Structure 1
Amino acid sequence: MKSYLPKHFDFRVRVFMEEPDFGKGVAQLLSLTREKGSLSAAYKSMGMAASKAWKILNRAEADLGVKLVERKSGGKQGGGSHLTPEGEDILNRYENFQKEVAEAVKRSFIKNFGNSGES
Structure 2
Amino acid sequence: MFLKYDIKVRIGQKEASFGKGVIELMEGVERTGSLSAAYKAMNMSSSKAWKIIQRAQQDLGIVLFESKSGGADGGHTIITAQGKELMRKYRSMMLEVERQAEISFQKYFTE
Instruction: Give the TM-score, by structure 2 length.
Output: 0.95
List gaps (5 residues or longer) in structure 2: none
Distance apart, 1:74 and its partner CA: 1.3
Q: Deviations over 1:67-88 (max 9, x none)?
A: 0000111122210100000010
Q: Deviations over 1:7-63 (max 9, x none)?
A: 111110111111111010001101111111111111011111000000000110001
1:83 maps to 79
List gaps (5 residues or longer) in structure 1: none
Residue of 37, 40, 45 corresponding to 2:41: 45
* Range moving further from structure 2, 46-55 or 72-81: 72-81
1:92 maps to 88
Is residue 59 of structure 1 aligned with residue 55 of structure 2? yes
Q: CA RMSD in A?
A: 1.2
The 2-side partners of 1:75 and 1:45 are apart by 23
The 2-side partners of 1:74 and 1:21 are apart by 29
1:22 maps to 18
Instruction: Give the TM-score, by structure 1 length.
Output: 0.89
Is residue 74 of structure 1 aligned with residue 70 of structure 2? yes
The 2-side partners of 1:77 and 1:10 are apart by 43
Larger relative contact order (C-alpha < 8 A, sep ≥ 6)? 1
The 2-side partners of 1:29 and 1:60 are apart by 12
Question: 3-state SS of the aligned residue for 2:78?
Answer: strand
2:101 maps to 105
The 2-side partners of 1:71 and 1:39 are apart by 8
Report which of the two structures shows the higher radius of gyration computed on alpha carbons: 1
Question: 3-state SS of the aligned residue for 1:40?
Answer: helix
Is residue 35 of structure 1 aligned with residue 26 of structure 2? no
Number of residue pairs matched?
111
